[in-house]
Amino acid sequence: METKRVLVVGGTGYLGQHVLLSLSRIKDSAPYDLAFTYHSNSNLLEPLLDAIPHSHAFHVDLATGDGFQSIASKFGQPHVVVNCAALSVPRVCEKDPDAAMSINVPCSLVNWLSSFEERDTLLIHLSTDQVYEGVKSFYKEEDETVPVNVYGKSKVAAEQFISKTWPNYAILRSSIIFGPQTISPVKKSLPIQWIDGVLSKKEQVEFFHDEFRCPVYVKDVVTIILSLINKWIIEGKQMKLLLNVGGPDRVSRVQMAETVAHVRGYNTSLIKQVSASSVYRGVSSPADISMDISKLIQTVSISPTPFRDGVILTLDST
């Protein structure tokens, strides 16, 4: 049986590292050949390559496509691509819409895949809950996408581009992803660790009581991705899939902080409840983009981790 080649685009990022590590630990008759791309995080390469010594690292510029041909010649056409790369800080996207569009809409990636004779690579693309407007609870996949910021708009554009130009894809609209730190620690602030850090100082901190999300535990996202890869490799049937990927709990920022406080034993009086409208963050933020995940559960037969359980697992790893 041919060893399947999996390419993780954005492999030095938070989700990318978790995906790579899980793929590298699969022990069966046909483990995967692994490759990943990086751009600005070259300082994270060494620990990652030490942990996954048989993987291949390629420097790629998603905006221009520079670096993809090197993958073609040295690694070959991947059977699966997991695209975790993005300019994902909404405030940064707002300041530089052109950069957001050039990186978040994967034109260069799809154009490269289209250069192969066989156009059957499975593209698993990470999108976001911020494609929704945020004016109701529990959005379904078929609901209209009305993003309120450039980040969301770039992700909608990416979804539309992929669905029109590539025949075999799974688009995952992820909520806030939380969980343990990566092997090669990422610089970005991780949500649960950040809340734990500020509450541990025993000083009052403001949290929004009217901004709702369905945070999803990182290992659940990895399980979903592995399930889709396995489905494609076993069945060989092209898919056109769009899934909400969130946890089972709709929580406000206040409720997230209260959960961390309860788990850690902090005084909840440290949590000052404020309205999201009282703070300007340099970018519009949707109020309620909680998601209905019934299609996800039906498609991949997963029961996502409850938020409190995920918080305990995250803090136990620190």
The model's pLDDT over 76-96, given as tens digits with 9 standing for 90+, comes to 999 999 999 999 999 999 999
Give the pairing type, strands 205-208 and 271-274: parallel
Nearest C-alpha neighbor of 94 from the set 148, 39, 162: 148
- Structure confidence at residue 27 (pLDDT): 64
- Structure confidence at residue 317 (pLDDT): 84
The CATH number of domain 5-182+215-249+289-305, selected from 3.40.50.11860, 3.30.360.10, 3.30.1330.20, 3.40.50.720? 3.40.50.720
Q: How far apart are CA 222 and CA 112, in angstroms?
A: 25
- Structure confidence at residue 29 (pLDDT): 54
Q: How far apart are CA 33 and CA 54, in angstroms?
A: 8
- Structure confidence at residue 218 (pLDDT): 98
This model's pTM is above 0.85: yes
DSSP state of 201: T
- Structure confidence at residue 31 (pLDDT): 74
- Structure confidence at residue 1 (pLDDT): 62
The token pair at 201 is 């100082």
Low-confidence ranges of the chain (pLDDT < 70): 1, 27-30
Calculate the alpha carbon distances from 183 to 12, 176, 268, 277, 311 in Å.
10, 20, 32, 37, 19
- Structure confidence at residue 43 (pLDDT): 84
- Structure confidence at residue 40 (pLDDT): 84
Q: What is the residue type of 242?
A: L
